[in-house]
Structure formats: C-alpha cells, structure tokens
Chains A and B, each alone.
Chain A
Amino acid sequence: MATLERARAAVPHVHEQLLDNGLRVLIQEMRTAPLASVWCWYRVGSKDETTGFTGISHWVEHMNFKGTTNIPRDKVKGIIEQFGGYWNGYTWIDQTTYTETASREALDRMLFIESERMARCLYDPADCESERTVIISELQGGENDPDTVLDQELTAVAFKAHPYRHPTIGWLSDLQTMTREDLYAYYRRYYVPNNATLVIVGDVDRDDAMQAVIRHFGTIPSVAVARRPLTAEPPQFGERRLTLSREGTTAYLKVGYRAPALGDPDFFPMLVLDAVLTGAKGLNLWASFRTPPPQRSARLYRALVNTGLASSVSGGLVPTAEPFLYTLSLTATDGTPLGRIEEALLREVDRVRADGVTPAELQKAVHQLRARLVFENDSISNIAHQLGYFATIADWRICGSLEERIGAVTLDQVAAAAAERLTAANRTIGWFEPLPPGSSDGTAVLG
C-alpha cells in the first residue's frame, strides 16, 4: 500500500456527541504518546466586533486566563504545568480557542479548567486594567514590524464594510476606552456551551472521557446567542491601492485578492493554485508556521526570488467562514524599486490567468498538499486543532475529506479560479516604502 493510502487507512475514528446544553464534543483516541490534548473552541472572533469595540474578542481571551470562581488567581500559575503541560489560546477573525496538552493523567484537570473558563471567569477590575496595557504592548510590538503593519492596512482597505477589516488585536483607541463591563458582557454573551466545540485527542478512553465531559460541562446552561447579521462586503469595482511611507530599511509589497470562503467551490482550486504559485502550505494554522513550504520550483519564487528582485515571496490562503483574502507578500531585495517587483508579479499573475497551470504543475501541487497533510498530523495537538478549527467555521468532517477534495481538483477548475479571482478589479495592492531616518510622517496614502 502506498504511503498516502496507509495514512488514510490509519485515520482513527472520531466520536461526536452533542450534549443537551448544545456543547459539541469530539473525541479521538490516539495512543502514540502518553498525552492528551484538549481544545475548547468558541464561534466568536474579530468579525463579531462592532465599531468602538475592536479587539474585544482578543482581550476577552486574555482575561480568561485570570482566575475563576473555583481557580483563585494565585492558583492559575502552574495549574497545568505541574502535569508537564502546555496551555495557550488564540483569537482570530472567526474563532477563539483555548488549548492544553499534558500527560494523560491531567485530562480531568484540563476539562475542569475549560469548564471554569466557559462559565466562571472573574474579570477582576484590576486585572482588566493591567491587561489593557499588556495588550497595548502586544499591539506596539506588532507595529515594530513593517510587514505586520502593511498587512493590517491592506486588510482594512480591501474590506470597506465587512468586519474582517478590523485587526484582531483591535484599534488603539478602542483598547484605551473599553471597560470591564464591556468585556464581561461580551464574555457572557458568547461563552456558552451551545456556541462551543470541545475536542479531546490522545491517550484517553472515549467513554471515560465523555463521562468526565458531562460531569464538568453538563450543568452549564445554554443561552441563545444573539447574533446580528454581518455587514456583507459590497462588490469591488476596481483595483485599490495604498502606500505606507514610514522610516525603515526594507520595502514590502502585498497584493490581496478577495478569496473564496471554505465552503465556496473555488476554495480547493485556489489552494492548488497557491501551491503552484508559492508552494504548498497545507491547511493547519497551528502547524504551518513551523515549516516553510516547498517553493523553490514554484512560479513566483522562480520569477521573483531567483531573478533577484525579491528576497522572499509567500502566499496566504486560509480556510475561513466567509470570503477573506488570498495574499501574496514579497520583500524587495535591497535597492529594488517596488514598481519593478509589482510589474514582474502581475506579469506572472496575468500569465496564469490566461493559460492556467500545466498538468505537471497540478500533479506536483496535489502531491505537495497531500504530503503536507501527513506532516501536519504528527501530534495530537495538531490533529485536535484541525477538528476544532473546521467544526468552528464549517464541519469537522471536512478533516477526513481534505485529501479527496484536493485530489479532485481539475486543471479547468484551477484555470477558472485564476481567471475569475486574480483580476485587477478584485485586488488591493499595498506598498511599504521605507523612508530614511528622521523623515517619516507616519502616514498611509491611499490612491
């Protein structure tokens, strides 16, 4: 049996149960190490934020590490580390998630922490104030990186109306003015079992784990989540541009195309197209940053990096609930004008729009993506992440069909996706032009 077929055959069974209070529970037994990984996912992210409250999802995530009714503030430190464990969380546009991975003996402790986090966080006013400055420090750390700033500005220009335009960290003035009551109300609104998915993967017994879940979560009441409809992004009728002029040493170019959501038939053809253009990244946000993509033979690497115009190129297409962006990011080689890089990039984009990709390119991209799926499933944390991630934005069962969906992509589909999606009217182009020391007025110029 070929390796990929063996990998497919070895996919363990996922047990799903919906508790009476609406909590969706997914359990997968995996006995590769004496460990268990727990992830608790909430369908709330920066897309749920309104003007004046940007960054609130992320701030709430921070507050949910600050003690609960039954975990006093001074007992938080070490609560999972004493089991050799790791815990963390992240917030993004569609979701907020919390994770612990520790020895299998800690499963009950991990479930206790997550049940407390769902229902009984304290939001001590002093902790809210202290965390305000921590988050502003996080925002300022991001502002130190020109590429991060350009990404944030580009996203805000690419979306006029849809809340995907807000940075997850929030805008500074909102972080300065939100109150403890704002944070707590947001927490109570979204942190309810019927808005969550709990994932357990590892060296656990399925029935015992489910009993423990019911014990910890079963009595938490469900509460209807009042969601306002999201503002739909109106059609884009022409190319958008921005130039960011700030002191710096290096020039950056980003081009963001309106991209298909996960549920759109174009998503997987676009994923294959991205692999042809910049190398396959896979589909696991939690794992993909660890290993760069195989991209030396990718079209844009050859056209821009091997020619010496750019020192790096990358493509970003991630599964999202609603249409987000497919972003091409380039770093200009020292002294190369951004105009030359943009011209070379758009020439390659026009070429793939006109001619599509070759059968050999399709075959290579599909193989790269399939291999990436194998490499990504190398730990219980990564496997659990994927179940929860897809459950939150669509359906966890997609995890089991990713390889099939990738393999089913045809040349015509890739060509059609390129022709329809990579148009001038569908893109926003962002430049970061470095100014010499002392000359920055820090302004973004839209044009």
Chain B
Amino acid sequence: MTTARRGLAPVRAVLDNGAVVVAKQSRTTPAVTINAAVAAGTIYEPAGLDGIAHFVSRTIDRGTSSQSADAIAEALDGRGVSLSVAVNRHVLSLICTCLVEDVEPVLSLVADVVMNATCPDAEVRTRRAEIVTMIRQDEDNPAVVAVEHLLADLYGQTHGYGRRARGSVASVESIDRAALVRFHAARFSPRALSLVLVGDVAPDSAIAVATKAFGRWDAPAPPPVELPPPPSASGRRTRVIPMMNKAQVDVAYGFTSLRRSDAAYYAYWLMNNILGQYSLGGRLGDSIRERQGMAYYVFSSFDANVIPGPLMIRAGVSPANVDRAIASIDRELERLAADGPTEAELMESKQYLIGSMPRALETNAGIAAYLQTEEFFGLGLDYDLQVPGLLRAVTREDVHAAARQALRPSEATIVVAGPYAGHAR
C-alpha cells in the first residue's frame, strides 16, 4: 500500500489478483463516489465490430449470472443510485455516487456487473434498437458529424482513434450476444481494472470493501493491442458535409498533437489554454466571438493520450460566416505560431490552471476522475502536488515552440457540417 504525504494523499493498493484500488477520504458529504475503469475502450474492438465496446457499456448492467436486469435496477434505484457507464478510446467506466451507508452493497453490485455480466439476448435486442436510434440522432447532429469526420480524416476510419465510438448501424446490427460475451471475456480482467473510491470512508475500510468485492476475481490478463501512430499530415484538407435542414454550421478544425508522456505536454497545455480556453475561449474567443460576433461558441481542446491525440478547434457559426470564421482561425493560429504568447498571457494561463485545481478537486466525483487520470497515465500519487511546479517551469519559448510545432494551418484538417454549400478551404 502506498500513499502520498500531502495534497490529495490518496492510498493505493494492488490486490493479489492485480486489480488496482485507489482510495481517498473526503468528508464534504456523507456520500461515496465509485469510479471503476476497465481497459476495454474502443481501441480494443475486433475488426468489423465497430461499436462493440459501446454496446457492452449499454448491456453490462442488464443482467449477471446471479441477478436479472430488473433486480439490478431495483437495487440501484432503491438506494437513489444512478450508475453511469461510459466508454472512450481506452477505458469503459462505471461511475456512481451512493450514500456512505450503501457503499458496500453498491460496490458489490458494481463488481458483479463488471465480473459476471451475461448480456441476455432480450436485453441485447432492446439495447441494439436504442443504439441504432442514438446513431441516427448523431447523424442528424452537425456537431457530432463534424467531429466524427474530423477524427476519421485525421486517423483513418479503421484506426482506434478514428472510428465512430458507437459504430455504424450496419456494424451494430451485426453484433450479437455471443460477440458481446467474447469481448467481455477477452478484455475484462482484474489486471485491467482500476477502481477509485472517494468519499466519507477511511481508506483502509474502502480498500477492505473493494477487496471483498473484487478480491476473488480471477481472469487472464488481456493481451496487448497494437495502436499505430497517426498518419502524417499531408497538406490542408477540407471536407464539407451539407446538412441543409439545419440552422447553424459546425466547424471542426484540427491536427494530431502529442503523447501524454511527451516532455512538451505542459507547454502544449498552456498553449491550448492561451489559444482557445482562457476566459471566453482564449485568443479564438476574443477574435471570433467577442470582436467579430460570429459565434456563440468557439474553443480549442486537446487530448494528449497514449498516442498523439487530436488538437481540435470547434466553432458554431451562421452559414454566411463559415469562410470568415475559418480565415480567422487560420489567422490566430499563424499569429501564435509566429510570435508565441506574450509574457502576460503565459503568466495568466499559469495562474489560472494552477489556481483552478481546488475547484477541480472540490467534489468526490471531481477527485475520482482526477485520480483515474493519474492512475491511467502513471503520473504518481503526488501528481496534484507536482502540477504547479511543472507548469511554472514552462517558458515562453517552450510555448512558442509548441505553437510552431502544432499550429500549422497549411496542414490543417477541416470539416464543415451544416447548412453550407460553399467551398470552404
């Protein structure tokens, strides 16, 4: 068992079966957040079964070897607990908050779901129809359409970072119970589990409850999956997807960025904050929203991950302003790449990112999400104490170098989705 001495000071234990448990006591409310992450995200999907990880997320809590879907629903609802199951590229997460007196039965139920899901046929049929409906809704949503096509264009449609997380109607219709059970058996293992418990429970007790729930689980370690690096950019590409029944156009403009483990991560973090986050959307917000009044929202985001994730700029604009908005994005990127940030901008963003940590770590759910990220990237139990120093050490030249490297309008991939029939470039 290991702990950090100050700051959040969570306690981390590795159970005999390889499962990792991280516990943090917080007495703000008489409640506990349970955040269980299994390395069973979309990158692990077998070829041709796009969307199976998401499909598992919709069926995993719909029946186990000892409990029906109705029994699980009653057990959770009766305690006021809503279990959210979400999936991203790398992990499938089961997250809920319960009253402290319910932590043992609720964790036991979460463990049963994680270990013994059976995905009954009737549930598979019902949830498949739900997923098809969700995919149809996505296809009618310009924001989703723009982002999904941007990722497919940046990484390729078959790459783990480029595939649609929910798959296609065709792929989902081809997934049956047997495929779901196979995926569950292949990827769910104590060695793929990271469990975080945050709330009004002493760490020793939390780890004891976790051991009781998961300690006897035995399943082989899942095999690793090869994740190729993203293809190199080869010039500027623009894709227009006309959706003439809509009122507003969504623009997604992006690049691939860098790995989370890259030493330049903190310079990129600050660069992104200055470009499209700080206050109302950073420099992009100043230009496109505040000065030109073109968009209700414009921002940038970046996802440094196991491989270089996307750096993305998003804007919602009227059809008449698409070309002007893209030109403004180009101009702001060129300016930051050419001149770097000002000393004042760098100082402000550092103050903001460091100063906002207490807010991010105020709630049980916020702390649990933070500790899961810490665990996933192997950042260390005292990472919350390291962050201020890591950010303060970044120089203006570091951020300028990050901007030069990342922000290349001539290499940008752009997707325009909405009531636009022009020829954006």
A133 contacts partner chain B, Cβ-Cβ < 8 Å:
yes
* Residues of A contacting B70 in the complex (Cβ-Cβ under 8 angstroms): 297
Most buried by A among B133, B244, B361: B133
User: What is the chain B residue whose CB lies nearest that of A1?
Assistant: B30
In chain B, positions 71-106 with a C-beta closer than 8 Å to chain A are 72-74, 76-82, 84, 97-101
Say yes or no: A130 contacts B245, CB within 8 Å.
no
A286 contacts partner chain B, Cβ-Cβ < 8 Å:
no
Say yes or no: A85 contacts B356, CB within 8 Å.
yes
Binds B, one of A159-167, A214-222, A366-374, A389-397: A366-374
Instruction: Tell me which of B29, B133, B358, B418 contacts A377 (CB under 8 A).
Output: B29
Say yes or no: B133 contacts A311, CB within 8 Å.
yes
User: What is the chain A residue whose CB lies nearest that of B98?
Assistant: A371
Q: A54–B97 Cα gap in the complex (Å)? A: 40
User: What is the chain A residue whose CB lies nearest that of B347?
Assistant: A82
Say yes or no: A440 contacts B245, CB within 8 Å.
yes
A7 contacts partner chain B, Cβ-Cβ < 8 Å:
yes
Say yes or no: B129 contacts A103, CB within 8 Å.
no
Say yes or no: A308 contacts B126, CB within 8 Å.
yes
A23 contacts partner chain B, Cβ-Cβ < 8 Å:
no
Say yes or no: A249 contacts B140, CB within 8 Å.
yes
B78 CB, nearest partner CB in chain A, Å: 5
Say yes or no: A130 contacts B247, CB within 8 Å.
no
* Residues of B contacting A84 in the complex (Cβ-Cβ under 8 angstroms): 351-352, 354-359
Binds A, one of B210-218, B290-298, B327-335: B290-298
Say yes or no: B140 contacts A248, CB within 8 Å.
yes
A155 contacts partner chain B, Cβ-Cβ < 8 Å:
no
Q: A129–B76 Cα gap in the complex (Å)? A: 51
Say yes or no: B78 contacts A379, CB within 8 Å.
no
Q: A285–B76 Cα gap in the complex (Å)? A: 23
In chain B, positions 89-137 with a C-beta closer than 8 Å to chain A are 97-101, 125-126, 129-130, 132-134, 136-137
Contact count band on A: 35 or more
Say yes or no: A77 contacts B247, CB within 8 Å.
no
* Residues of B contacting A32 in the complex (Cβ-Cβ under 8 angstroms): 27-28, 362
* Residues of B contacting A146 in the complex (Cβ-Cβ under 8 angstroms): 140
User: What is the chain B residue whose CB lies nearest that of A366?
Assistant: B80
Question: Given that A132-B293, A297-B77, A378-B28 are contacting pairs, would A3 and B279 also be in contact in the complex, using a CB cutoff of 8 Å?
Answer: no
In chain B, positions 252-308 with a C-beta closer than 8 Å to chain A are 278-280, 286, 289-297
Instruction: Tell me which of A132, A248, A334, A368 contacts B132 (CB under 8 A).
Output: A334
* Residues of A contacting B323 in the complex (Cβ-Cβ under 8 angstroms): none
Can you list, as one digit per residue, whether each of A408-447 has a CB less than 8 Å from chain B (1) or not (0)? 0000000000000000000000000010010010000000
* Residues of B contacting A227 in the complex (Cβ-Cβ under 8 angstroms): none
* Residues of B contacting A292 in the complex (Cβ-Cβ under 8 angstroms): 82, 84
User: What is the chain A residue whose CB lies nearest that of B245?
Assistant: A247
Can you list, as one digit per residue, whether each of B1-43 has a CB less than 8 Å from chain A (1) or not (0)? 0000000000000000000000000011111000000000000
* Residues of B contacting A312 in the complex (Cβ-Cβ under 8 angstroms): 130
* Residues of A contacting B290 in the complex (Cβ-Cβ under 8 angstroms): 130
Beyond A85-B359, A135-B296, A378-B31, 8 extra complex contacts between A and B, CB < 8 Å: A65-B280, A76-B279, A84-B356, A101-B359, A291-B84, A295-B82, A374-B31, A378-B364
Q: Which residues of A approach B to under 8 Å, CB–CB?
A: 2-4, 6-7, 10, 32-35, 65, 76-78, 81-86, 101-103, 129-141, 143-146, 246-250, 279-280, 290-298, 305-308, 311-312, 331-334, 364, 367-372, 374-375, 377-380, 434, 437, 440
Question: What are 21 of the A-B contact pairs (CB < 8 Å)?
Answer: A3-B100, A7-B29, A81-B279, A81-B355, A130-B291, A134-B289, A134-B296, A137-B318, A139-B247, A141-B297, A248-B140, A294-B79, A308-B126, A308-B129, A367-B78, A370-B80, A371-B81, A371-B99, A375-B80, A378-B364, A437-B245
